[in-house]
């Protein structure tokens, strides 16, 4: 009586063959190394890394601003998109556990009782009566996976689970980068707002002085209106920048997932910090991209599609199922375990596909097409990642010199304003010349802030593109 159950358990230990194609990683459709973007003529060479490169650096080591570190830590705890990605992992793990359970026999304990009345026409001696029957036992069912159908489904579920886990890692990297970029954007607006407010205050004082000079006949109404125009322009600029800063704070709050614990503070990254964030070794090989979670997720999806082909192929072959039961049956509940009440059953079943109106063939074609889609998606993911790194490297090669050039413009405009003010005090330059120099200096200051912000965000993009930000 134990033979059927032992047969099923032995069959469960047999390794099934697999009809899935042998997996081969597609060749990366990109160059072997990233392009070496030389700086523009007259530019300084880009810095090289001393020690660990950005790809090997965790976000706590990469960002020196303590306030930013606190915001990133809070975002990793509270961001709803990242929380959803984590729940997707639990969902995929549960689906994998369900599929994996099909590879082992299931055992079920049963206890049932039946009480039924028999009609006189069917009862012994033509007499009706009420009969009782009680059954207790253990049953098991198992599919002999000779052609790897269940195994292939299990492998596909495992690959889908791993892809979901990699997707969460990719979401974390993106979140770290987006929080950092939002933080520095808000800090840039704060710096621009301070410039706009100081410029407005300076122009307001100049306007008041011009109005006093006009009252005593030392200035004209034209000069007064010109100063008023510049003052209101600075005021409008300050208000617009204040609005942009408030919106940047709202964007940062959304990414963090909770209101900031303290008021915004800190400053934009200086040149030394940006140099450190941008430093990566020259001649980076493109196979570094395989460390990116989004690429690993795409490859796991490809593995799942490859395994599903094995399951679709196995559907063309016979399916063998074994069902067995061992128990006891008695007309009285108290006699269930008496001598002579033991029962057992063993039911092997062979199912051979004969006619399915092309269903199995269509399922196989569908699995093969989905694999081809997964291959294209994998290759596309690599190409996008390669471009992101190449773009960030190109930006690194030129933005440092752009910032230096913009700083030189600001310094030249400041010196021009100083000289014009001296000429104005000596009666050589006009008020219009001084006001024009003030306006151009303000524009140069604002553009320098934007150039520094662009260089900072470009360094963060390079860090993210190389797969940094997980630790």
What is the per-residue DSSP string for 16-84?
PP--SPPP-PPPPSS-SB----PPPTTPPPPP--SSS-GGG--HHHH---HHHHHHHHHHHHH-HHHHH
Between 50 and 365, residue with greater pLDDT: 365
Distance of CA 125 to CAs 118, 122, 128, 172, Å?
12, 9, 9, 79
Q: Are residues 188 and 277 in the same domain?
A: yes
Is position 75 within any domain? yes
Instruction: Identify the domain containing residue 397 by its residue range.
Output: 31-103+146-193+232-317+359-465
Structure tokens at 284: 């980076």
pLDDT surpasses 70 at 9 = no
Band (pLDDT 50/70/90 cuts) for residue 15 is very low
Give a yes or no: residue 168 inside a domain.
yes
- Same domain for 408 and 308: yes
Q: Is 341 found in the same domain as 270?
A: no
Per-residue confidence (pLDDT) for residue 361, from 0 to 100: 92
pLDDT higher than 80, residue 230: yes
208 belongs to a structural domain? no
Same domain? For 92 and 135 the reply is no
The pTM of the whole model exceeds 0.85: no
In a domain, 236, yes or no: yes
Q: How confident is the model at residue 304 (pLDDT cuts 50, 70, 90)?
A: very high
Higher pLDDT, 126 or 214: 214
- Is 93 inside a domain boundary? yes
Hunting for tokens 């704060």 — which residue is that?
Answer: 190
Query: Could you read off the pLDDT of 335-360 as tens digits, one per residue?
Result: 777 777 788 888 888 888 888 888 88
- Is 21 inside a domain boundary? no
Report the percentage of the chain scoring pLDDT > 90.
29
pLDDT value of residue 186: 92
Q: Tell me whether residue 20 is in a domain.
A: no
> What is residue 129's predicted lDDT score, i.e. its pLDDT?
65
Q: What is the CATH number of the domain that holds 369?
A: 1.20.1600.10
pLDDT of residue 328: 85
Comparing 15 with 443, the larger pLDDT belongs to: 443
- Residue 213 in any domain: the answer is no
* DSSP 8-state code for residue 119: P
- Name the β-bridge partners of 114: 133
Q: Are 325 and 393 within one domain?
A: no
48 and 135 in one domain? no
In a shared domain, residues 128 and 265: no
Residue 401 and residue 331 share a domain: no
**Mean confidence (pLDDT) of the chain:** 82
- Domain count along the chain: 2
Mean pLDDT of 445-471: 88
Where on the phi/psi map is residue 357: left (φ > 0), alpha (ψ -120 to 50), or beta?
left
Question: Highest mean pLDDT range out of 76-80, 375-379, 419-423?
Answer: 375-379
Per-residue confidence at 121, pLDDT binned at 50, 70, 90?
low
pLDDT over 60 at 204, yes or no: yes
* Residue that wins the pLDDT comparison between 52 and 407: 407
Kindly state whether residues 78 and 129 are assigned to the same domain: no
Question: Given a cut of 70, is residue 368 above it in pLDDT?
Answer: yes
At residue 129, what are phi and psi to the nearest 5 degrees? -170, 175
Higher-scoring residue by pLDDT: 176, 282: 176
- What CATH number is attached to the domain comprising 122? 2.20.200.10
Residues 380 and 438 reside in one and the same domain: yes
Q: What percent of the chain has pLDDT over 70?
A: 87
Give me the pLDDT at residue 374, please.
94
My answer on whether 251 and 119 are in the same domain is no
Same domain flag for 388 and 461: yes
């Amino acid at each position: 009586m134990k033979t059927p159950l032992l047969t099923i358990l032995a069959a469960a230990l047999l390794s099934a063959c697999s009809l899935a194609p042998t997996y081969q990683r597609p060749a990366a459709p990109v160059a072997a190394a990233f392009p070496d973007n030389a700086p523009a003529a007259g530019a300084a060479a880009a810095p090289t890394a001393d020690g660990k490169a950005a790809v090997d650096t965790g976000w706590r080591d990469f960002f020196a601003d303590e306030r930013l570190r606190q915001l990133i830590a809070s975002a990793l705890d509270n961001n709803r998109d990242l929380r959803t990605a984590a729940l997707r992992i639990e969902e995929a793990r549960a689906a994998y556990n369900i599929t994996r359970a099909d590879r082992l026999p299931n055992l079920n304990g049963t206890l049932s009782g039946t009480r039924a009345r028999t009609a006189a026409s069917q009862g012994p001696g033509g007499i009706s009566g009420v009969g009782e029957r009680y059954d207790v036992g253990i049953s098991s069912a198992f599919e002999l996976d000779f052609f790897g159908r269940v195994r292939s489904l299990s492998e596909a579920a495992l690959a889908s689970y791993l892809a979901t886990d990699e997707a969460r890692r990719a979401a974390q990297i993106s979140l770290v980068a987006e929080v950092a970029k939002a933080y520095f954007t808000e800090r840039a607006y704060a710096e621009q707002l301070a410039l706009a407010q100081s410029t407005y205050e300076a122009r307001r004082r100049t306007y008041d002085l011009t109005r006093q000079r006009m009252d005593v006949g030392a200035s004209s109404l034209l000069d007064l209106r010109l100063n008023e125009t510049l003052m209101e322009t600075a005021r409008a600029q300050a208000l617009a920048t204040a609005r942009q800063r408030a919106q940047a704070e709202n964007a940062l709050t959304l990414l963090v997932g909770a209101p900031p614990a303290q008021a915004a503070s800190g400053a934009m990254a200086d040149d030394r910090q940006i140099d450190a964030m941008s430093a990566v070794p020259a001649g980076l090989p493109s196979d570094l991209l395989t460390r990116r979670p989004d690429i690993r997720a795409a490859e796991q999806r490809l593995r799942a599609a490859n395994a599903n082909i094995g399951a679709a192929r196995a559907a063309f072959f016979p399916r063998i199922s074994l069902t067995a039961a061992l128990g006891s049956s008695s007309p009285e509940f108290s006699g269930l375990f008496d001598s002579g009440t033991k029962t057992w059953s063993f039911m092997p079943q062979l199912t051979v596909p004969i006619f399915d109106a092309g269903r199995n063939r269509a399922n196989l074609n569908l699995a093969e097409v989905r694999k081809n889609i997964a291959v294209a998606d994998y290759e596309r993911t690599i190409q996008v990642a390669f471009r992101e790194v190449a773009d960030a490297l190109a930006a690194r090669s030129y933005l440092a010199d752009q910032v230096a050039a913009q700083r030189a413009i600001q310094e030249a405009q400041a010196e021009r304003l100083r000289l014009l003010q001296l000429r104005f005090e000596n009666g050589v330059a006009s008020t219009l010349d001084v006001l024009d120099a003030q306006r151009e200096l303000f524009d140069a200051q604002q553009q320098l802030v934007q150039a520094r912000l662009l260089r900072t965000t470009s360094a963060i993009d390079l860090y993210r593109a190389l797969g940094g930000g997980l630790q």
